[in-house]
Structure 1
Amino acid sequence: MSAQTLLNSLFQYKASVDDELLDALNALEADAPSDAFRSALRVLNHAHLVDRIFVANLQGLGHTYAASWSSETPPLAQLSADIRDTDRWYIDYTSRISLQEMEEVVDFTFTDGGRGRMSREEMLAHVVTHGGYHRGEVGRLLPDIESTAMRDVFTGYLHRTDPARRQ
């Protein structure tokens, strides 16, 4: 398996578990949102902002984000749509990136103004692992979605999408 194939599979996995988590949050939103629910949305918004920052970095573009956290969190419906759009962008990007592009080192600016330098492959790995960390954090904030959060493992995704892998 090539790094490009693996990264594309990881971003398909990310999109799948993001969908499951967002659906679970939508179901919980019908109840009066708690402080934990609002905290969970804030965490997801942070993860999404980082995803968007790295979309710009991967393209060698500047961005307008002054921080990776926001004092204002969009409503869940808007955040869900934005996360799903960004997940699709990453799936498309990783489906067509070449080995030479993945190895290319890109200079960028962090939100604090500091300079950074990473390969595109490292940036993509960061986005995947960063998102997984924060999905787990949401699962800890909202025990009501624990059954969804517990399914957030790559092996589970592979077995759901390709049952022949499970013996």
Structure 2
Amino acid sequence: MSIATLISLFGYKAWANSELFALLATLPAEHAEEFHTCVRTLNHVYVVDSLFRAHLSGEPRPFDDTNTKTTPSLGQLREEVAATDAWYQRYTSSLTSEEASGVLDFTFTDGDRGRMSREEILLHIVTHGGYHRGNVGQVLKSISVVPPRDLYTRFLHQSEPARRAV
């Protein structure tokens, strides 16, 4: 996979997260249980993103599990996710092809050992986030709320309108 594609995918991830958080901020109070499920799910994504960020940067693991015991507020989580998305965008923008293929050894939160290339880690972060945004979308559909259209093609055509001119 090219570095340009990774950069684009992390732009897409940040865009999709922003759209989803904006919608969740408008959810009526009568859907508190579903709202909580959505925030817990997105917090899990944030924690996993943070764990792999630590692996990529050689920093200590910031969490000992794949979710936190307490649930952050939507506003707090939104800020943390935006900062983490921005970090991944900067990281991919500065990555070389040689660095992307470099393999890292790490330990998962359950104690199992792992080995992945930086490129594989980055692809995991993108696909893992998309999977769980889809989970949140299903929760929203269950309460008759239309989730954002979380499509890479939509992102590409909105971020590069000239693509529609062909």
Which bin holds the TM-score, normalised by the shorter protein? Answer: over 0.9
Shift of 1:31: 2.5
Higher mean C-alpha displacement, 124-133 vs 61-70: 61-70
How far apart in 1 are the matches of 2:106 and 2:63?
13
Cα 1:20–1:43, aligned 2, differ >3 Å: closer, same or farther? same
Residues 164 and 41 from structure 1, CA distance in 2 versus in 1: closer, same or farther, beyond 3 angstroms? Answer: same
Partner of 1:131: 129
Q: Give the corresponding residue for 2:81.
A: 83
Letter in 1 for 2:59: L
TM-score by length of 2: 0.93
Paired residues for 1:6-155 under 5 Å: 6-28=5-27, 31-143=29-141, 144-148=144-148, 151-155=149-153
In structure 2, distance between residues paired with 1:146 and 1:124: 29
Give the drift of 1:147.
4.0
Q: Residues 42, 147 of structure 1: CA spacing in aligned structure 2 closer, same or farther, 3 A cutoff?
A: closer
Tell me how far apart the structure 2 counterparts of residues 146 and 134 of structure 1 sit (CA, whole Å).
16
- Aligned residue type for 2:71: T
- Provide structure 1 residue ranges, at least 5 long, that are not aligned to the other structure: none
Deviation track 1:90-122 (CA, whole Å, cap 9, x = no partner) reads 000001101111011001110011111100000
Q: What letter matches 1:88 in structure 2?
A: A
Any idea what SS the aligned residue of 2:106 has? Answer: strand
Give me the TM-score of the superposition, normalised by structure 1.
0.93
**Does the aligned pair in 2 maintain the 1:24–1:145 contact within 8 Å?**
no
Q: What is the CA deviation profile of residues 138-161 of structure 1, one whole-angstrom value per residue up to 9, with x for unaligned ones? A: 00011244241xx10101100111
CA shift, 1:64, in A, is 3.5
1:34 aligns to what SS in structure 2?
A: helix
Structure 2 distance, partners of 1:63, 1:156, is 34
Q: Is the 8 A contact 2:140 2:147 kept in 1?
A: no
Instruction: Report if aligned partners of 1:11, 1:91 keep a CA contact under 8 Å in 2.
Output: yes
* Aligned CA distance change for structure 1 residues 145 and 4 (closer, same or farther; 3 Å): farther
CA-based RMSD of the aligned residues comes to: 1.3
Q: Which runs of 4+ in 1 moved over 4 A?
A: none
Which amino acid letter does the alignment assign opposite residue 26 of structure 1? A
Quote how far apart the aligned CAs of 1:27 are: 1.2
Residues paired across the two proteins, number: 163
